[in-house]
Amino acid sequence: MKRQVILTVAASKRLIAKGVAAMPIVKKAMEDGLVVVSTGTTNAYVLEELWGRKIDKRRYRSGITTPKTPEKKETPRDEPIPDKVFRNGEVDEELNRYNAVEHMGKGDVFIKGANTLDYNGKMAGVLIGGNSGGTLGAVLGNVVGRKINLVIPVGLEKLVHRDINDLHRLTSSEDYEGPGLWPITGTIVTEIEALKTLTGVEATLFASGGIAGAEGSVRLLLDGTEKQVNDALELVESIQDEPRYLL
């Protein structure tokens, strides 16, 4: 059975967050281990799904990309929410995304968003504006050395057609000005993986874009049993009204 769905950027973020929360490695670490949710727009949705409560997602972001005149909510953003680290399913207020890695090991999970996706190459890229390398510069050594599961939620809207290592080299040239691009690999979770985890359906990206709020949207072809496809359609329908992320 084959059907199609369209996901706006906001709906995709919600779907990916649900998919991350349902991953076996994440569920296990939430039950008996440590889970770090670093700040980011998509990760704000992940935090809501893991924490079981709504937040002002504007308060849980890091670097953002906006138009010259971004749309804003009527109410101003409050103070940022501190990093959230879960220990055995409960928030540990003494830990943040930087010091938590010193207590982590095999089976624990570090969740970090991305700005660039090479889906076929199974690599992602993170824009780096600071001289010290941002979050990655502070934690990646521990993540790799301690064999911590790095989970990378990233929407298909961020697909690029070049090898991310090549893009990294371009942004590292002496005549370039702007943020660098740090290639990373781990368990990448897009809308495709989220739908597979949540419903068992196979999803294929076959068109993108739109207008009037559907800019950046993705059109996916769903393939599976009647139950799998119907479950996926029901899931997508339940998140279609996810409001846009405004500043």
Find out whether 219 and 225 touch, Cβ atoms under 8 Å.
no
First to last CA, the chain: 40
Residue 136 token pair: 């990655």
What pTM value is reported for the model?
A: 0.97
Which DSSP state fits 233? Answer: H
How far apart are alpha carbons 101 and 214 in whole angstroms? 38
Dig out the tokens for 196 from the structure.
């597979």
Domain 2-68+79-239 class, CATH top level? alpha beta
Confidence at residue 63, expressed as pLDDT on a 0 to 100 scale: 86
Strand 90-91 versus strand 123-128 pairing type: unpaired
pLDDT tens, residue order, the chain (247 aa):
999 999 999 999 999 999 999 999 999 999 999 999 999 999 999 999 999 999 999 999 988 999 999 999 999 999 999 999 999 999 999 999 999 999 999 999 999 999 999 999 999 999 998 888 889 999 999 999 999 999 999 999 999 999 999 999 999 999 999 999 999 999 999 999 999 999 999 999 999 999 999 999 999 999 999 999 999 999 999 999 999 999 9
Count of CB atoms within 10 A of residue 63's CB?
16
